[in-house]
Chains A and B, each alone.
Chain A
Amino acid sequence: MKADVVVVGAGPAGLAAAIAAKENGADSVVVIDREERPGGILRQCIHNGFGLHVFGEELTGPEYAARFIDKANALGVRFLTETMVLNISPDRVVTAVGPETGLIAIEAGAMVLAMGCRERSAGALMIPGSRPSGVLTAGTAQRFVNIEGYMPGREAVILGSGDIGLIMARRMTLEGAHVKMVLELMPYSGGLKRNIVQCLDDFNIPLKLSHTVTRLHGRKRLTGVTVAAVDESGVPIKETEEYVPCDTLLLSVGLIPENELSREAGVEIDPTTNGPVVDSHLQTSAPGIFACGNVVQVHDLVDFVTEEATRAGRAAAQFLREKSACGGWKTAAGRGVRYVVPQTLCDDGEDKTLFFRVSGVYRDCATVARCGDKVVARKKRPICAPGEMERLTIKGADICGDITVTVEGV
């Protein structure tokens, strides 16, 4: 089997990429997803707040996904659902398996990786204590409540203030659970400000910054957690330990791009983002393999995923006509910046938008992009924090070499 463009993942990134590829001239576009229906994680995000940037209105996750699914269907995008990609070869042969199709191989003219991310699990945190049931990621709890219709517990503590954790604090409360507190190891939240207000403050759920769980209790089911404040280096302060009875601990402690398939395809991975190294057309180090959405970098808003994926889909269609890898210049994270995406910039004269995250909370500062000594972009920021993605746009004509992004005092 052959296809012009094969997209792996039918979440928001894959959907937008498939549509863009089709609209930009790709004849046959196939989207592969392991779930029974397209939509990805949006299917379980039944809260609203999606689409403000793309549609100028507030949609729920399933509504947002449906707009793209309908459009993709109208354009003739082919969906292979309940199908798991087992392998991607560097020359873009995709091996997949599903009950409908059996074991299949698809030769792709171009590919878009849109596998999204997974949540960090409890084990990775090395929380001491017992290993009872009742400790699960916020996303798994969200699936239980919103898709399966079951409660994962009644008395909950949430560790980590990532957005899914905040959303689930509200969701569990609305379903009658008692969410006792949200704990965050860092001195600032990892989630969006609006989620802290709407999901915690509005329900009187305390957010304890610089706090963590130091012990799990309960042999069979969780019976409680020990909670403690941490010092500046994140080490728990013994004297502050406090026992909090609960039957559920939800974890929202970070998202990890799912790049096992990318690695097998020989795609170079950025150790900071854990996503593929991409150029300004979202092409990875493997020619003809593009990547977008949370598989590249964890985004704050689905709208931004859509935007990035649209560019990736367009570039994939472009690749079918004109196989060009762009050399160009590199970007680098300077002082106060954790990473910059894209990692390389094509020398095509187009304006470039750089996406990055800062490494701490900074007030009254500016984000600055420099090409050598020359400032090519600068934005004043009253406050910037790691929880909110930053961006700077550089005029194509201004790019004269490698770019470094920094945070500076005003």
Chain B
Amino acid sequence: MIYDVAIVGAGVTGAMIARELGLCDLSVCVVEAEADVASGASRANSGIVHAGFDAAPGSMKARMNKRGNEMMHKVTRELGVPFEECGSLVVAFGPEEEKQLDILADRGMANGVPVKRMSGDEARRMEPVLSRDITAALWAPTGGIVDPFSLTIGAMENAMSNGVTLYLNSRVTAITRTDGIWELFAGDNRIRAHWLINAAGVYADDISRMAGGESFNIRARRGQYVLFDKSMPVRTKSVIFGVPSDRGKGVLFSPTAHVNMIAGPTAEFVDKEDHDTTREGLQEALAGVQRYAPAVDARYAITVFAGLRAMPESHDFIIERSKSAPGLVNVAGIESPGLTSSPAIAEYVKELLEEAGVRLDPKPGASRIRRPIERFSEATPERQRELIAMDRRYANVICRCEQITEAEIVESIHRPCGAKTVDGVRLRIRAGAGRCHGGFCMPRVMAILARELGRDIDEITKSGAGSWILDGRIKEGTR
């Protein structure tokens, strides 16, 4: 078959575009190199919904950020994704940094984003854990937090419910165009389509070149993070930033959508395959948040990770129809605030296609609504009894830290865009994301995955090919 649209990349940008186009009467597929969606920057980021005061006025970033922020309420409600408009504070230490706050406040005005200057004491009244040395702050009430995995998975699931096809483990290695038809050589698949949308994250420059599109360079800027246990007493309600520098928005200290606290990101240019954390980077992230909130204690750390932002040379998002390759739309350089912008980017890509003459009639029967997986631990006792009466597997708690039941794990596997790996289960329903980090539940999650997918337990991987967990039976030698 020939798809109307093929989207390369199943990060939050690709997933949001897939969702938007899936609502139209088009045949759409998404082509992803890794074993699951949200495997790049969408997996490892701050989970912040930026208010939008710091992008250069008039830039694509400023426009997408503001619109994305406005759309986030509706989108997260439709997709059943955790989102909280908790506000954000940029904190300043002394007169030099306060000048930066003034610049940000002016930009906020220019971008149409509400912001308010406040004194250090006012900031500390809002967030008592903040340092005594903070002299002033900028409050942005429309800043927020969202669960980035749920947003990506929710969008893709919604898209797939509306008929979008997802190809996983399908890295695009070559692209040809014959008689106006794209052909993608993607893993074991050859995929043909009329339109090609390049949402390939740090590899968007390669994809554009393969398709004969514009030549631009995307560099990978790594951000390292420390995630803290829910029990850490030093908490804030809102997102805390320092004043920005030429290295970006700097290290932040924030609650996550799952009530952990997070510290990071650092910012260093690295190779596109380098997802490693470093001792120096983790220290920088910790020291950074300890500057805002001196009582932050590293002993509450439950995990560390790093993600790669796709940095365009132009410092602005590249979202345009290719001039040199008709039928190609580049959606590249989607660094921060890409997560916030993603619904707006999808809306804009749809407009670009419409301008190009693509017919975008609504698809009969398509729905914008995705029902989230119902959480046993969050249900009332009455509802818990109903769930158990419906399905006995709700009474079998598998992940003790996050209280996730067998029924929820099974559902996460069998949904459209379902989990196929241990990480996949964790990202979808947080089994193994708590304080023991899977120590107790990993063997049981693996057994459920094996049973539901009809595989042997030693075929179950952490995150796809190569990430094997078990090496055959004991007594039988290596496989």
Contacts and interface: CB of A to CB of B under 8 A. Distances in A.
A123 B385 contact: no
Contacts of A280: none
Contacts of A270: none
Contacts of B1: none
Interface in B369-383: 377, 381
Contacts of A371: none
A118 B276 contact: no
Contacts of A175: 474-475
Given A97-B395, A153-B471, A130 B443 contact: no
Contacts of A128: 276-279, 281-282, 304
Interface in B266-288: 273, 275-279, 281-282
A151 B397 contact: no
Interface stretch (B113-121, B135-143, B358-366, B457-465): B457-465
Contacts of A123: 227, 301-304, 437
A176 B468 contact: no
A150 B385 contact: no
B209 interface: no
A136 interface: yes
A122 B437 contact: yes
A143 interface: yes
Interface residues of A, number: 51
Given A123-B301, A124-B302, A220-B464, A151 B395 contact: no
A126 B286 CA distance: 11
29 contacts: A84-B403, A97-B395, A98-B396, A103-B385, A118-B439, A121-B438, A126-B277, A127-B304, A129-B276, A129-B277, A130-B276, A133-B461, A139-B439, A140-B443, A150-B474, A151-B472, A154-B471, A175-B474, A175-B475, A176-B477, A219-B273, A219-B275, A220-B462, A220-B463, A220-B464, A220-B466, A221-B467, A221-B468, A260-B401
B3 interface: no
Nearest to B377: A86
Interface of A: 34, 82, 84, 86, 95, 97-99, 101-103, 118-119, 121-124, 126-134, 136-137, 139-140, 143-145, 147-154, 175-176, 214-215, 219-221, 236, 247, 260
Nearest to A133: B462
Nearest to B397: A84
Contact of B442 (A82, A136, A149, A151): A136
Contact of B400 (A34, A148, A214): A34
B395 A99 contact: yes
The interface residues of chain A, by DSSP majority, are classed as: mixed
Nearest to A131: B305
Given A103-B388, A133-B468, A151-B472, 13 more contacts: A84-B403, A97-B384, A121-B303, A126-B226, A126-B277, A128-B277, A131-B305, A133-B461, A147-B443, A148-B443, A150-B472, A152-B471, A214-B279
Contacts of B437: 121-124
A151 B388 contact: no
A99 to B, nearest CB: 5
Contacts of B436: 118-119, 121
Contacts of B400: 34, 84
A154 B478 CA distance: 8
Nearest to B277: A128
Contacts of B468: 133, 221
A284 B9 CA distance: 55
A260 B278 CA distance: 32
B469 interface: yes
Nearest to A175: B474
B397 A118 contact: no
Contact of B474 (A124, A126, A129, A149): A149
Interface in B396-411: 396-397, 400-401, 403
Contacts of A34: 397, 400
Contacts of B465: 220
B177 interface: no
Contacts of A137: 439
Q: Which 5 A-B pairs have the closest CB atoms?
A: A123-B303, A220-B466, A133-B462, A84-B397, A121-B437
Contacts of B385: 102-103
A84 to B, nearest CB: 4
Contacts of B469: 133-134, 152
A404 B149 CA distance: 52
Contacts of A119: 436, 439
A97 B388 contact: yes
Contacts of B302: 121, 123-124
Given A123-B302, A131-B305, A219-B273, A99 B396 contact: yes
Interface string B250-276: 000000000000000000000001011
Contact of B467 (A121, A122, A132, A215): A132
Nearest to B477: A176
B473 interface: yes
A267 B363 CA distance: 57
A148 B301 CA distance: 30
A97 B397 contact: yes
Contacts of A153: 471
A102 B392 CA distance: 8
B393 interface: yes
B56 to A, nearest CB: 34
B473 A149 contact: yes
A82 B473 CA distance: 26
